[in-house]
């Protein structure tokens, strides 16, 4: 049986730990699904700002702040969400963003697509106030899918 590299699609022996074509580590710890955005980079970059990990992803982190900065007054001000990639170059990234209000009540759920997210790059997008029907208490960001971008 052969292992197909999730990045370059080269067939490797099923006992391979690294791809013989591009060198990608083929093992994924903890039974996670192998693939773009989920495979750990051997030398990850660290985000300069305080961020939270994107669920289901390796080396993707996000931070949030009110659009225009400042301190939120009502909790329903538009948000700027910034996603930082400290791992492999990615393309066609799809994120699920969910916000919870008091007592974990779901306020909104939306999908955001990022065409390219290179290693070391941060991409920001806005969550408009009309998407926030009440004060936001918790924000959850999850990787739905991604493809490998340019080879590292």
Segment 37-62, tens digit of pLDDT: 888 888 899 987 778 999 999 999 99
pLDDT at 33 over 60: no
Residue 24 and residue 29: Cα distance in Å, rounded? 14
CATH code, 43-148:
2.60.40
pLDDT at 152 over 50: no
Assigned token pair, 33: 């699904």
Q: Where are the domains of the chain?
A: 1-34, 43-148
Per residue in 59-111, pLDDT (tens digit) is 999 999 888 877 777 767 899 999 999 999 999 999 999 999 988 899 999 99
* pTM score of the predicted model: 0.81
């Amino acid at each position: 049986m052969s292992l197909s590299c999730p990045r370059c699609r080269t067939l490797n022996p099923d006992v391979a730990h690294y791809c013989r074509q591009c060198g990608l580590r083929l093992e994924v710890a903890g039974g996670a699904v192998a693939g773009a955005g989920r495979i750990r980079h051997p030398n990850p970059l660290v985000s300069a700002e305080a961020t939270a990990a994107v669920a289901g992803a390796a080396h993707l982190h996000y931070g949030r702040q009110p659009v225009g900065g400042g301190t939120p007054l009502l909790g329903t001000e538009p948000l700027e969400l910034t996603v930082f990639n400290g791992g492999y170059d990615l393309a066609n990234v799809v994120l699920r963003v969910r916000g919870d209000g008091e007592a974990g009540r779901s306020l909104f759920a939306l999908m955001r697509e990022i065409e390219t997210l290179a290693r070391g790059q941060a991409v920001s997008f806005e969550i408009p106030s009309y998407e926030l029907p009440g004060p936001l208490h918790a924000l959850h960001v999850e990787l739905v899918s991604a493809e490998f971008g340019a080879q590292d």
